[in-house]
Structure 1
Amino acid sequence: MKRRLEAAFRGPVVFHPALFAAFPILFLYAYNVSETSISEVWLPLVISVTAALVLWIVLSLMLGSKAKAGFATVIFLLVFFSYGYVYDLLKLGMFDPKHAYLFSGMLFVWGYCVYLIGRAKRDFRIATKFFNIVATVFIAINVFNIGVHQLNSARMNDATPEESLNQTLASPGESNALPDIYFFVLDEYAHPDVMKERYNYSSDVFIKNLEHKGFFVASRSKTQSSDTPLAIAQVLNMDYLDSAPWSDSTYRRIGQSEVANLLKSAGYQYIVFGNNFATYTWEKYAKNKVDFYFNYCGYNSSSMATEFMYTLWSITMLKPFYVYVTGNEHDNSFRCETLYMLDRLKTLPELEGPKFVFAHFICPHTPFVFGPNGEHVAPANSHSYEDKQFYINQYTFISTAIEKVIDVLLEESDVPPIIVLQSDHGPRSGHFKFHYPVGANDWQKILNAMYLPGMDIDTLFDDISPVNTFRLVFNHYFGANYSLLDDDREQ
């Protein structure tokens, strides 16, 4: 036994299995570093490296060579961390893969590779040295990118805020006469025309109900960005921005926006409803700016519900077991989060003092967790864009639910509130979502509805850009003098 152990662990230094086990996690973190806390990385990193080392030791004993075992371990890591991509590619090709078959098939492929490696006459010394170098380079690149980001982020936190638009707001009266201002964003909410063309669904009743309540609905409004952070940042800073959509600069412009700063200087309380996507970025950039921060996921969800952990599970061979292990916590957290926001918003008229309320609903964006009347959706269908009905159902639910919130705000507010209801963008074609062509017109055309008490809405125009929303509000209600930007600016 002793000789067998000595033989198994004799040969070149093998450390690449541990590095390759860490690489996918570090790469995912580096790619999403602006949105993910480093605290989410440590647990999966330790588990992955430990599991890889255990597998390498077991295979070393089985194959009698630590070099061969290292090569076999790397192949397993490749199979393990590519499972989700293979599954999605098969599904994209109109083939409905069964996890049982795909999982078994990929394990069989790996097992056969181990068999071939065990029978090989080579000692894998050169391959081991090569993999050691490649793994080291991969890790070094990601650590460098993460380090550069953290350094730039620290500098950004210490830097003075971006130059403002050099305007101040004149108070229209006593604080008890100031209107509350609500800014609601419905994520990936399609324009009514797109719903008719792509989904054969009419939202005319919802639009007419809004207009009957006194809303102006801009029928030709377009966003200039298909990426949520940049789309929201442009509205909250009343300008077209050139920053990268998912960068720290963009998130900072959301957390420390021109609109919020101006309203706070005018005596407004700043209230934010966070969500599962924005927990880290809001706490990073807006923690000391908001007066009230409501986040169901931050209060009630475990680390398994975060986007980082869910994405990590989704790309690995753990994908088939996520629902059973976590109780589908990720999707359930979105459902509970949306219901929490809808209920909590209805209580805000009771809060004294003028308020600026920002609420970003991850709805009707996936996961699909609502039927048309709020019913639960089976986990297997929560990310199914292939059947358009799941998107339609969630679209119907949030339309009805947000209308009920609006009714309460209009009825319970002592001073008629200002309400802005917009989608960040319409349906997009990325991430294997759609099995039909999606053009720029689909995501550019958005819902843009505004309740502006006391304003002659006949003076407004149907193609108003969302970046002009608060320029319009501040000019009319606060005596500002903003010029309106071009409504069809090319990005």
Structure 2
Amino acid sequence: MKTVLSRQPWFVLLLPLFFVFHGFAGNFHYLSIIDVLSLAGMYMGASVLVYLIIRLPLRNNIRAGLFAVFLMAFFFFFGFLFDTLKAYAPYRWMYKYSVLLSAFLVIAIILFIYLLRTKREFGNTAFYLNLLLIFYLLFDMGAILYKGIFDPNANEKITASGAARIPEGKPKPDIYLLLFDEYAGDLSLRQWMNYDNSANSNFLRSRGFFVAKAPFSNYKYTVFSMASMLNMDFISWYIENKKPSREDLVNCGTLVKHSEVTKFLAANGYEIVNNSIFDIDKYPAHINQRFLPVNTRLISEETLIYRLSVDFEWWLRKQPVLKKLLPVETREDEMMNIERAIDFTMKEPSRESGRPKFVYSHFMVPHLPNFFDCTGKRLSYEQSRFSSFLKGHYDQYLNNLQFANNLIRKLVTNIQQQTGNRAVIIVMSDHGLRKPWHPSQPCLENNNMNAIFLPGQQYDGWTDSTTNVNQFRILFNTLFDQQYKLLPDSCIKMGHE
């Protein structure tokens, strides 16, 4: 065995396999094997190509493999290196891109020259690298098998719903959840921007909605807020005031995917229509995808190219060739996603279905940047450039707010007309305006919008300060005679990203 492992650079193939399957093991319930295999195939192909190119000047299998694996290791684990240095390095310059890339280039040149001139065969090095990666790969495969066979709910920190079936004979109206991202409540708009947004509340009241006067979200970040709201519970494992980690975000995404609300409704005969920015189990999001399925970003976001694409997105968007080759989400992609969510939601009330529907539409407005004017017309790149809230430039946000208000009027009117006022419509936001941050008023960032229309207009369960975590508890109690106890309407203090 030692002879086999010491004579060939199998580690060129084993490294990308380990990288992908290690990521799969850590995010098992948020990825499919098809997604993982396509990503592994792409990375293995890239590694082999790098190896074959380097093999030409070095003219030695092992030495070419060592240099190729050095390059690919930096590519695969750049995110881990950057995040570790950012968390623990004593000086900021140590994790600057210019420093890291320059150091890598210098080491790569020195290593290449050494491998070009040396006559060593590096058999023992090849043996240990091959053996180590095989051991790591087998360990991760064992973890994957364990989660797939013995622990099917691993990583799904989901509370038991305890919800019974909807009683026989109870009406099951269509339910529309229209979620407007970072839509600030009237309190924060008046205090921070001196802006009166009462026209939107008055419109909703004129259409029969209950509109809370001082609602708050429980969390100020989208994925936390939606995970809590759609599971009708607080996130028990989150430590208050803690800065959200990548693992926290992934776990919240898993909570959304397997939420209690969608499981309860699906078990009671509802069709789940997902026009959101999240994947829901068996109902994936309508998201533009390019070379890779969106879920594999949980793995690929650790790579050098992905980090460069995110951190230098402002420059790459201006490069026509690079933005097509790299995983850069272009303005066109983002605008198309918003327009697609609007189009699908507008068409949904007229679509015939043999069963009741739960329609979750998530609109990335008034969240910045602004891509549209108040009428919905696309803005140019120069018109939509983001201005810092720290400089008090609220005009872009207010433009987006007016666009959102017009969209609310359009959607609500369409749904009510098409359904004859027989559908439940929830119009709300995940959280309020996060910038500027006011240490003396942290919960004002959570001041959001919360309005609901019920065909029978029985709004006794709601109050002017109802928070997101209780929204579906109250709704299911009111519509379906469930017995959910209401949770405290409290804001969870969160560290800043």
Alpha carbons of 1:218 and 1:79: their partners in 2 closer, same or farther (altered >3 Å)? same
- Match for residue 343 of structure 2? 343
Q: CA deviation at 1:453?
A: 5.0
- Match for residue 178 of structure 2? 184
CA distance in 2, matches of 1:381, 1:138: 50
**8 Å contact from structure 2 (residues 432, 444) kept in 1:** yes
- Match for residue 450 of structure 1? 452
Q: CA deviation at 1:27?
A: 3.7
- Match for residue 245 of structure 2? none
CA distance in 1, matches of 2:302, 2:384: 13
SS in 1 for 2:371: coil
Q: CA RMSD in A?
A: 5.1
- Match for residue 431 of structure 1? none
CA distance in 2, matches of 1:138, 1:399: 53
Identity %: 20
- Match for residue 80 of structure 1? 75
**8 Å contact from structure 2 (residues 6, 127) kept in 1:** no
Alpha carbons of 1:414 and 1:59: their partners in 2 closer, same or farther (altered >3 Å)? closer
CA distance in 2, matches of 1:427, 1:11: 59
Alignment-mate amino acid for residue 259 of structure 2:
R
Q: CA deviation at 1:381?
A: 11
CA deviations on 1:235-288 (whole Å, 9 max, x unpaired) are 4454456588447676333475224545x3xxxx5341244641xx432xx6xx
Alpha carbons of 1:31 and 1:66: their partners in 2 closer, same or farther (altered >3 Å)? same
Q: CA deviation at 1:206?
A: 3.7
Counterparts of residues 216-365 of structure 1 (less than 5 Å): 216-224=210-218, 231-232=225-226, 234-240=228-234, 242=236, 245-246=251-252, 251-254=257-260, 256-262=262-268, 264=269, 269-275=270-276, 277-278=278-279, 281-283=280-282, 296-297=286-287, 303-304=291-292, 306-308=294-296, 312=300, 315-317=303-305, 319=309, 323-325=323-325, 332-351=332-351, 355-361=356-362, 363-364=364-365
**8 Å contact from structure 2 (residues 226, 256) kept in 1:** no
Q: CA deviation at 1:420?
A: 1.2
Matched, 1:410 2:412: no
CA distance in 2, matches of 1:381, 1:418: 37
Matched, 1:14 2:48: no
Q: CA deviation at 1:382?
A: 9.8
- Match for residue 422 of structure 1? 428
TM-score, with length taken from structure 2: 0.68
CA deviations on 1:59-81 (whole Å, 9 max, x unpaired) are 34533544433332222113333
Q: Which runs of 5+ in 2 are unaligned?
A: 87-91, 238-247, 310-315
- Match for residue 144 of structure 2? 146
Matched, 1:48 2:36: no
Q: CA deviation at 1:363?
A: 1.4
Alpha carbons of 1:215 and 1:103: their partners in 2 closer, same or farther (altered >3 Å)? farther
**8 Å contact from structure 1 (residues 226, 444) kept in 2:** yes
Alignment-mate amino acid for residue 468 of structure 1:
N
CA distance in 2, matches of 1:43, 1:351: 35
- Match for residue 163 of structure 2? 165
Q: CA deviation at 1:197?
A: 7.1
CA distance in 1, matches of 2:134, 2:418: 62
Q: Which deviates the most, 210-219 or 361-370? A: 361-370
SS in 2 for 1:34: helix
CA distance in 1, matches of 2:388, 2:293: 24
Q: Which runs of 5+ in 1 are unaligned?
A: 1-8, 287-292, 429-433
**8 Å contact from structure 1 (residues 181, 417) kept in 2:** yes
Alpha carbons of 1:187 and 1:28: their partners in 2 closer, same or farther (altered >3 Å)? farther
SS in 2 for 1:182: strand
Alignment-mate amino acid for residue 77 of structure 1:
M
**8 Å contact from structure 2 (residues 261, 472) kept in 1:** no
